[in-house]
Amino acid sequence: MIAGIDGGGTSTKLEIRREDNTGAERMQFGPFNIAAVGAEGVRRVIGEIAGKTDVAAISRVCVGGAGASFAGLKDLLAECLHEYGFQGKIRVCGDSEIALRGAMDGPGGILIAGTGSIAWGVNAEGETYRVGGWGHLIDDAGSGYAIGRDALQAAVRTQDGRDHAEKLRERLLARIGGKDNFDILHYVYYSGRDKSAVAALASEVLSLAAEGDPDALRILNRNAAGLADMARALAKGLKTEKPRIAMMGGLLETDNVYSARVRNLLEEVCEPVRPAHDALWGAAQLAWEMKD
């Protein structure tokens, strides 16, 4: 058998195929990101996988996803898998790489906007190029985090008198159960919440924008322009005029006011398309392509 693993911060997805690349079967397990769960967490997930499938029968496995850049991950995985009889080949790659392989065959790129954002692509010569994905503190343009952060900024500035986004402020305060800037301050800095809590507020911005709220629309338009800039840089880096770029991630894979605006801007610099398959399919396909 061959196996693909898409390891995330909240869950680990596994796809098993027969050696001839048919008969796909999928399973889901606990979180995988080594930065969050540590080595013991990774060991626990491999143990869960071993309890559901014959690890010794797997000849090739490709693991992609959160934490893949950790230097010792491949050795850790080899050690864990060997405990259950695995004697095959292992490939470890980033979540963008498996997402790209899943999105399309041949040259092209992906633009992912979820909690964070990144663009990744490959040209006809096999050269790859990356844009963004440098984290929420210094990057992640057009992401859920960026939209949520911009909304919170507009809310606190409105109370100060520096902005006038009253509807947005009211919506955010209702969402977090607060009444003023000090409650927003607590929500962001002192409640123990992580960046996903800020990113979750993007849904309120999308909802208000769909109602025609000008402040919400302004935030979405600014962030959509940031994603278009990423696509433009990707096309330049790939030395390809108007490459195919698949729109991926929670904000772009559904039809909403934001994805429509992003698609409209992307049409100026690339050919926006829907991904052919998901990242897990890409991981399994990369495993199959690990020929002897």
The band of 245, judged by pLDDT with boundaries at 50, 70 and 90, is: very high
Q: What is the pTM of this model?
A: 0.89
The band of 65, judged by pLDDT with boundaries at 50, 70 and 90, is: confident
Summarize pLDDT for 170-188 with one digit per residue, the tens. 999 999 999 999 999 999 9
| Percentage of the residues of the chain whose pLDDT score is greater than 70 | 100
The band of 292, judged by pLDDT with boundaries at 50, 70 and 90, is: low
- Between CA 82 and CA 78 the distance in angstroms is 6
Look at residue 1 and tell me whether its pLDDT is greater than 80: yes
Please, where are the H alpha helices in 6-94? 34-52, 73-82
Mean pLDDT of the residues in the chain = 94
pLDDT given for residue 244 in this prediction: 97
- Between CA 28 and CA 251 the distance in angstroms is 23
Summarize pLDDT for 122-175 with one digit per residue, the tens. 999 999 999 999 989 999 999 999 999 999 999 999 999 999 999 999 999 999
Mean pLDDT score, 26-51:
88
- Between CA 151 and CA 134 the distance in angstroms is 21
- Between CA 9 and CA 31 the distance in angstroms is 5
3-state secondary structure of 24: coil
Q: Is residue 135 left, alpha or beta, with left meaning phi > 0 and alpha meaning psi from -120 to 50?
A: left
Summarize pLDDT for 41-60 with one digit per residue, the tens. 889 999 999 999 999 999 99
End-to-end CA distance of the chain: 14
